[in-house]
Structure 1
Amino acid sequence: MDRTESPVFEGADPASERSAAGRPARVIRTEGTTEIPVHLLFRDGPDPAPGRLRSAVVGRRQGTGEQPRLRRPAAAPARPSVPRVDPELVERPARVLPGGAGALAGACGVAGCVATSWWAGVLPSSAAAALGLPAHAGAAGAAGLGPAQWAAYAAAGALGLFGFGGLARGRTGRAWVLGLFGRYRGTVRRTGLLWVNPLLLRRRVDVRLRHWRSEPMQAADRGGVALRVVVLVVWRVRDTVRATLGVEDHEAYVRECVEAALHRVPVEAPGGTDGAADAAQDALTRLVAADAGPVGIEVFAVRPVRVEYAPEVAAAMHRRRIAALDARHRASMLTSVVDSVEDTVTRLTLRGLVELDDHERKALVKDLTVAFCAGRGEAGP
């Protein structure tokens, strides 16, 4: 075959020329190319059907080891970190007894001490007579307390201490978080007279709906102007064990969450619209609720109640507002004067009271404008 008619370029070997004689050559074999099957390049796609496997030519430099680059999937955006608490810290009711049981146990302990004293002969006769007890036969010659009497005293005293020492009064809106040797034992939300194991450590938690008014905190508006904001936070403790054991001080944690949210959400400057203020309030509430939720605190509203400029920019912003108000007042007064002059000249001309040429009309307009401006200036503040 003639070289000009062969589809093989110069530099191809005779085998390639012979294969080109039967069918058109698909691969250009030179010093800088190599042949790689398609199914090895694209492993992520479906396998090609038999009989349709073709070859692909991928150019690479010799000696560099450069390989074809495959497109990698885009990395998923990083999600914001959420504070996590020990999953074992889940509120559960503690085991308590009615207060009557503790009072009965304490009374039994006191009665046991009295009975032991009578048995040992150390109870005075007057006290025994007052209690309706017969005089002990060996009271006059009692030499002291024996081991049996001491054991009875210990048992009765322990019973009395446990009975009266565990009495507690549950109040509405208050709860106790109980722990023993650093381990959570349950939460008491019941009201009335109760008996709680006196060996348990009690932490009182206020679970009522609460509000907190902050001190002036640093914030900024949409333009980056420094502000001082006082916010009102409405919240309550939803999970007592997480609020008590999951964080060191849940009230301080709420304050820190509010301060962090103020640095992230722009607050509407003084004199702004109600819609922007409501949007800022909703954004603050969502952020604080999301941060305080994992520690068992439910936030209902974070409402800015007072917004003012920071001291370092208050004077400049005050002058700026005064200048804007003055410019607005001047524009309003000038519009009013121009309307009054136009109305006066039009009425004089239409009624035929004066006949004015252009020069006289301009002079009249000038005199009326000066007179009206002077009159409004004297009548102004």
Structure 2
Amino acid sequence: MYTEKIIKPPSGYLTLVLFLILLAGGIYALSIESFLTGGIILAINFILVLPGLIIVNPNESKVLTLFGKYVGTVKSDGFFWVNPLTVKRKLSLRARNLNGQQLKVNDKMGNPIEIAAVIVWQVNETAKATFAVENYLQYVNIQSEAAVRHLANSFAYDNMEDESAEITLKDGAEKVSVLLEEELNERLSRAGIDVIEARISHLAYAQEIASAMLQRQQATAVIAARRLIVEGAVGMVEMALEKLSQKGIVELDEERKAAMVSNLLVVLCGDRHVQPVVNTGTLYN
């Protein structure tokens, strides 16, 4: 019902020449006092010829309707003449940016987050954009917001909330953008809109939980760093005991080994400089 029909009307330059000829003929008829003939010629010229001239700029189109019926769309840029009784609606085909506002929604795990997206789109089918929806600009804004909200509800913010998640809003930027673009194309196809690109432009926890989540991230980072330090320290202690045993520098019983391991771990894992203590006696007194 709303299939786009592209038409190629005749050039407007020949019609412009005809307009000038009729204009000259009407003026001549009036000059020789043939008012009826001159009036008819001028009426035909200004009512049937001149209104049919249209100019289509690059990346623009003219949607034509005649007595409520869709006639076709002129997409070629240039100077043309069409049926003067048609209603002509200009529709831009240029790519447009939609900088979405920041939305406060809940992610998959129920955490309140702030999210926004930048969408690049353009009109692909002029008939659908004109007749299938009431206002295609408003339709793009509302459906884009709905798509971003649905996307945020479908995934967790990061893997701290859902460790088994393959895609998260924070770490899966490319995959999330692809999914958002696919959903937008599906939603906006009714209005003849083609989404060129869609990307998340803003993503953060909502203010009421941002401080707590920051502390959690910092604690996670500290734990990860400590785990790495401990793994490295244990490896170094193991290497030290192995080297001492291989070279036979000193014979250590189990108690001395335990004391040495304890001291080395304190030195290697401590977050402050260690103050050495010289023991002038023995381990047993």
TM-score, with structure 2 as normaliser:
0.76
CA 367–254 in structure 1, closer or farther in 2 if over 3 Å, else same: same
Q: Does 1:119 align with 2:32?
A: yes
Match of 2:76 in 1: 190
Looking at structure 2, the residues matched to 187 and 258 of structure 1 have their Cα atoms a distance apart, in angstroms, of 27
Query: Which structure shows the bigger proportion of residues in helix conformation?
Result: 2
List gaps (5 residues or longer) in structure 1.
1-86, 121-147
Q: Which residue does 1:100 correspond to in 2?
A: 13
Structure 1 range deviating more: 234-243 or 176-185? 176-185
Q: Is 1:344 the equivalent of 2:232?
A: no
Determine which structure has more spread, i.e. the larger CA radius of gyration: 1
What is the deviation of 1:339? 2.2
* CA positional deviation for 1:321: 0.9
* Partner residue in 2 for 1:226: 112
Counterpart AA for 2:189: G
Shift of 1:154: 5.2
Matched, 1:324 2:220: yes
Report the count of equivalent residues: 264
Structure 2 residue 103 is the aligned partner of structure 1 residue 207: no
* CA distances 1:294-352 after superposition (whole Å, capped 9, x unpaired): 33223455433443223333222221111100111111112222222332233234323
Q: 1:224 to 1:248 in 2, by over 3 A?
A: same
CA distance in 2, matches of 1:208, 1:271: 39
SS at 2:203's partner residue?
strand
Alignment partner of 1:371 out of 229, 242, 267: 267
Correspondence for 1:296: 192
Q: Which deviations, in whole Å up to 9, do the C-alpha atoms of 1:208-263 show, x marking residues without a partner?
A: 45553423334443323233333243443232122112212212212222222233
Map 1:257-336 to 2 at 5 A: 257-265=143-151, 266-267=154-155, 269=157, 277=172, 278-299=174-195, 301-336=197-232
Task: Give percent identity, aligned residues only.
Answer: 25
Letter in 2 for 1:90: T
TM-score (norm 1): 0.59
- 2: distance between equivalents of 1:159 and 1:338? 98
Aligned AA (1:328): A
Instruction: Look up the SS of the partner of 1:112 in the other structure.
Output: helix
> One-letter code of the match for 1:291?
R
1:80 corresponding residue in structure 2: none
Q: What SS does structure 2 have at the residue aligned with 1:355?
A: coil
- C-alpha separation in 2, matches of 1:164 and 1:377: 89
Q: Which has the higher contact order (CA 8 A, sep 6+)?
A: 2
Deviation of the 1:195 alpha carbon: 1.6
Check the 8 A contact 1:162/1:198 in 2, yes or no.
yes
Give, in whole Å, the separation in 1 of the partners of 2:77 and 2:264: 84
* 1:68-106 Cα deviation digits (max 9, x unpaired): xxxxxxxxxxxxxxxxxxx3x333245743212320232
Quote the Cα distance in structure 2 between the aligned partners of 1:110 and 1:316.
79
Equivalent positions of 1:61-76 (< 5 A) are none
Q: What CA distance in whole angstroms lies between the structure 1 residues aligned with 2:104 and 2:80?
A: 47
Look up the equivalent residue of 1:269 and give its one-letter code. Y
Q: Give the C-alpha shift of residue 107 in structure 1.
A: 0.2
Contact between 1:106 and 1:162, CA under 8 Å: does it hold in 2?
no
| Equivalent in the alignment of 2:277 | none
CA apart distance, 1:115: 0.8
1:93-134: CA deviation from partner (whole Å, max 9, x where unpaired): 4574321232023202320243134313xxxxxxxxxxxxxx
Residue pair 2:30, 2:38 contacting (<8 A) in 1 also: no
How many Å separate the matches in 2 of 1:189 and 1:313? Answer: 52
SS of match in other structure, 1:215: coil
Q: Which residue of 2 aligns with 1:175?
A: 61
Query: Are the structure 2 counterparts of residues 274 and 152 from structure 1 closer, same or farther at C-alpha, using a change threshold of 3 Å?
Result: farther
